Structure 1
Amino acid sequence: MKLLHKLRGYKTVIVAALAITGMSACTKNFEKFNTDNTGINGDQLGPDFNGLGLYLKSAEMAIYNFSGGGDPNSFQVQQNLNADCFSGYFMSATPFASGVNNLNYGLVSGWNGEAYKVGYLSVMSPILKLRSTGIEKNYPAVWAVALIVKVTAMSRVTDIYGPIPYSHVGENAPTIPYDSQQDIYKRFFLELDTATQYLRAQIASNTKLPFDFSQFDVVYNGNFNEWLKFANSLRLRLATHIYYADNNTAKTEGEKALNPANGGLLTDNTDNMTVKITGSFTNPLAFIAIDWADTRINASLACYMNGYNDPRISKYMDKSTDAGFAPQYIGIRIGSITNANSKDDYVKYSNLNVSDGATPSFNKKTAVQLMTAAEVYFLKAEAAMRGWNNAGDIQQNYEQGIATSFAQWNVSAPGYTSDATSKPAAYVDPKNVNNNLPSPSGITIKWDPAAGDEAKLERIITQKWLAMFPEGQEAWTEFRRTGYPKLFPVAVNNSGGTISSTVQIRRLPFPQNEYSTNPATVQDAIKLLGDKDNGGTKLWWDKKP
């Protein structure tokens, strides 16, 4: 594990990087940024279109923040030690920052700005450069893909912080204001309108591009039909996000996505939105699990899967290797690692499935999953519950989501969807009885059409959460939006009262660099949050009672 060795200078490195590129305070000259992943420049935009393609490829890979050279430290603090753990998927045995860190709500300032930095330097920067080439006019379908990548990536950033600079990024102005999250979502939908319009036109005309787009597209190999289905599915996801804050817009946008005349949705595992690993890049989650032993399975996930006898459990995680108790699927309770010696105690709890079985599910070249057909079926199930047009039947979508996830992981359990008795297991920590907790929920698997809406929603989201693994960013958003699945609370809460152990963490504070270099603008953003910039502050869409 390298992070502890880097923490001391981490903030300095970020500030220096932002200052060098001109990004500090999210101010002017965004067009001068250079993406970390490619190092390309405008001179490479020659007749072979190589530079143009590399801008797009680098942005696709930056959604999940791939790292080259065997150093996924950035991804670790961007997502793994935040959303991946807050979502109930992962936990670390490492007592970072002397045991007071994000995993027990003692938020580390140097960690909290990483997602912000990556969003602008590694996604917005290359996409703005791509636009400056005239791509929208000359090759609108390629620009459509860039827009979809932009919305995918920046929706993750706004769902971490809330207000962020968005609509005015790239303008030559002394400062770039923050947009409210409501306005950002409105712009996302408009950008998806443009993207899907361009894609439908390209598909209808079947115009041949003067270059091989597939060599730059590490998601769908240049298949515009697949990008259209993903764009519609992304629209449905984002529409669902805002249901409790603006159900009218949610319904309008959701029904636009569900309308088959608009190009369809992800329906099969061959449609899944996954980003391939190329060259010297690695899957950062697998790297952290294998080389640094810094991520392990969360107790919440293990207890749900054990209680449900879920056949995917052996695909998601390895059994424990601690000689002190029998090998089993067991996770670490979030917030329980505060002791300097705890890594030796807990590192042998269940890891990501990188070792067990003839062909473990994860290695350093495993493609990164960002959205699956299974998730879309669960989105449709919720849409059907809300009465949205073209959503289909609730139960059929729910059961198809489970079946599609099982097919994705190549497992079977014929009686799973008819199981009306199994419930999530209680947590028993062989190392510390103080961490023990009863079952987090009484929700069962079998669909019950007579259940109330909340029970129906809990079933849908719980199974959706199980199917989305290991994509913790979206899973954390869904937990905050709906309250499901019910997750174990932190064992120790070091927030000083700003984050409720019951409600759990809602967002990350703005980067410290914004306070240092752009105090007036960041204060305007904090006003949009109700004058509180802490981990307990709810986002705009976080409105469910």
Structure 2
Amino acid sequence: MKKLRFKLYKPVAIIALAAGILGLNACTKNFEQYNTDNTGLTEEELKPDFNNIGGFFPQIQSSIYFNFNNTTADYQLQQNLIGDVYSGYMMPPNNFRGNINNMTYSLVDDWNGSAFALAYNNVMAPIYEVRRRGAAVSAPEFWAIALILKVEAMHRVTDIYGPIPYSSYGTGGTTSAYDKQEDVYTRFFKELDTAVTSLNTYMTQHPGVSLFSKFDMLYGGDYKQWVKFANSLRLRLAVRISGVAPAKAQAEAEKALNPANGGVMEITRDNANISGFGLKHPLFTIIASWTDNAMNASMESFLVGYNDPRLPKYFDHAKAYPGTYKGIRIGSLVEAKPAYNGYSVPAYAENKTFKATTPLQVMTAAEVWFLRAEAALNGWNNAGGTPGELYEKGMRASFSQWDADPLAVNNYVADNTSKPIDYVDPRAAANNHAAMTNITIKWDEGADKKTKLERIITQKWIAIYPEGQEAWSEFRRTGYPKLFPVVNNYSNNTINTDIQIRRINFPAAEYTSNKAEVLKAIQLLGPGAQDNGGVRLWWDIPH
């Protein structure tokens, strides 16, 4: 049995009490023993001001999008070469592995196990240790935040793979059973219940007190903001399951939107962003130093077609084609660098959106307004307005977040003529494709429900950039926005080009260390399911 080692921080002076990462081949093992290297400070000596448990939180928070210790390559594998690509946000100008890679649906296991391993090693393991040290009793407000972070991190994992080890984690033994995704989501909602109740109770009993502030990379110790985040996260997950479990979805959404529970995100200040403790935004390195990222053709189609004022904040102009924005279509047979390096890249040189010091975006008020718009479209209570009103508030919240001109947003929401444009690749005509939709921006109350949903999701997709994992999940759930299909599909007929990729297969290391449970997990995907990228998750029903 491997012993887990952690990086534990003591505020003011950062003191490393432990280092190292548990290998992927043990990341779903259950754990009998946890330890840290002794460098002179015992757990007892760290207990004042809760340093013995609070010291784990920088690792947990900076591992949601993994850049713990600024190991950018891990983020590239966990997020950038999965969600960011499949969401239609980005496309590398790099012919990794001779174009036999994720972008052409030839899934690379050495890449795709990272999201699994990083979450268990750097989120689940330290949270387990926080629990082992008694936080649920001695510091319930710390434990509440741990639960919120756990749900945020692990819903990303289950939305990549499907079934995951969750309820059995840390219960002893040498293997971990996988839970079906429905059961994982049920636990998410229960954990958010505990978190919100604990924080609201703590604030009532200890007004103005926040011992978590010196460990907090999101809200500086503001528990009211954590409650809003938890409620907003509940709403996101509720809407996610609305197609497969409508009654449960409605109940959870109405709970999230009930003002008595503490509210949801509404303004830019409420946004969940991670920063501090020396954390750097990995996209800056990937773009500026590695030249491994570019605009996706789908983003060009929508943002250029809509004359979107946020476009210069999202991407730089294409150096090879001055005065234009130019993306790369997923699955293009990209030539070796620097062939496509002159295409648009996420904005780092012109408006400098992505700097080393830019916080990492987790969730925004704009997303929540669009979730509320969909809730109203579904006829759920507590949404706080009509679908059209909430849809417009989502756009306005996004423009506010990106410091756009108020006049620009007025013109934007009233635009009923601009449409996505065709894609033309000046280097390879084989990559050209007609626009996938003619959806306009302005709300049309007379449109059918399907068209209204397309508007809501399309604008939400634009607003939550650059969070590609969430955008990919929403594309799979709804079919919107309508993204360009892959040019070259090397999946050996396991992924349908038009339906597009639905999940990532379980890591090869799990077949080595936990094979019996992985084989059971495949059956949890559905009758006759295979472990490949063409299989739909529980909430991903055909539309």
- What is the TM-score with the length of structure 2 in the denominator? 0.92
**1: CA distance, partners of 2:542 / 2:281:** 35
The residue type equivalent to 2:523 in the other structure is K
Q: Which amino acid aligns with 2:226?
A: W
Q: Distance in 2 between matches of 1:396 and 1:66?
A: 38
Helix, strand or coil at the partner of 2:229: helix
In structure 2, the partner of 1:223 is 222
How many residues get paired?
Answer: 516
Alpha-carbon displacement from aligned partner over 1:249-286 (angstroms, at most 9, x marks no partner): 0011011001111110001000000001432x311122
Residue in 1 that maps onto 2:323: 327
Which residue of structure 2 lines up, in the alignment, with residue 80 of structure 1?
A: 80
How far apart in 2 are the matches of 1:30 and 1:276? 33
Map residues 144-163 of structure 1 onto 2, 5 A cutoff: 144-163=144-163
Report if aligned partners of 1:34, 1:41 keep a CA contact under 8 Å in 2.
no
For residues 162-177 of structure 1, the aligned pairs below 5 Å read 162-177=162-177
* Cα-to-partner distance string for 1:122-163 (whole Å, 9 max, x where unaligned): 000111111111111111111111100000000000000000
Partner of 2:359: 367
Per the alignment, residue 236 of structure 1 pairs with 235
| Aligned counterparts of 1:217 and 1:136: Cα–Cα separation in 2 | 18
Structure 1 residue 33: deviation in Å? 7.5
Aligned residue number for residue 17 of structure 2: none
In the superposition, relative to structure 1, how do residues 466 and 208 fare at CA in structure 2: closer, same or farther (>3 Å)? closer
Task: Tell me which residue corresponds to 2:7.
Answer: none
1:270–1:133: structure 2 CA closer, same or farther, 3 Å change rule?
same
Q: TM-score, normalised by structure 1?
A: 0.91
Cα distance change of structure 1 residues 44 and 494 upon mapping to structure 2, 3 Å threshold = farther
1:506-525 superposed matches below 5 A? 506-525=502-521
1:407 corresponds to: 400
Q: SS at the partner of 2:434?
A: coil
Q: Is the 8 A contact 2:394 2:460 kept in 1?
A: yes
User: Do the aligned partners of 1:31 and 1:128 also contact (CA within 8 Å) in 2?
Assistant: no
Deviation digits for residues 462-511 of structure 1 (CA, Å, limit 9, x no counterpart): 00000000000100000000000000111111101001110100010000
Same amino acid, percent of matched pairs: 47
Alignment of 1:106-505 (within 5 A): 106-207=106-207, 212-279=211-278, 281-322=279-320, 325-339=321-335, 341=336, 343-357=337-351, 360-391=352-383, 392-412=385-405, 413=408, 414-505=410-501
- 2:129 maps to amino acid: K
Query: CA separation in 2, counterparts of 1:265 and 1:400?
Result: 14
One-letter code aligned to 1:395 = G
Return 263-272 or 21-30, whichever deviates more. 21-30
Task: Supply the AA of the counterpart residue of 1:411.
Answer: A
Residue deviations 1:275-332, cap 9 Å, x none? 01432x311122111110101110101110000010000000000111xx33311111
Contact 2:27 2:121 in 1 (8 A): no
- Within 5 Å, which residues of 2 pair with 1:55-94? 55-68=56-69, 71-94=71-94
Runs of 5+ in structure 1 lacking a partner?
1-16
Taking a change above 3 Å as real, the CA distance of residues 165 and 41 of structure 1, as seen in their structure-2 partners, is farther
CA contact under 8 A between 2:89 and 2:298: conserved in structure 1?
yes
1:10 aligns to what? Answer: none
For structure 2, list consecutive stretches of 5 or more residues without a partner in the other structure: 1-19
* Matched residue, 1:13: none
Deviates more, 1:480-489 or 1:409-418: 409-418
Contact kept? 1:34, 1:126, Cα under 8 Å: no
Q: Tell me the SS of whatever aligns to 2:477.
A: helix
Q: Distance in 2 between matches of 1:335 and 1:177?
A: 35
Query: Secondary structure, in 3 states, of the residue corresponding to 1:349?
Result: coil
Q: Is the 8 A contact 1:31 1:125 kept in 2?
A: no
> Alpha-carbon deviation of 1:203?
1.8
The residue type paired with residue 359 of structure 2 is A
1:492 to 1:197, Cα distance in 2 relative to 1, 3 A: same
RMSD: 1.9
Helix, strand or coil for the counterpart of 1:274? strand
Identify the residue that residue 5 of structure 1 maps to in structure 2: none
1:356 and 1:100, CA in 2 relative to 1: closer, same or farther beyond 3 A? same
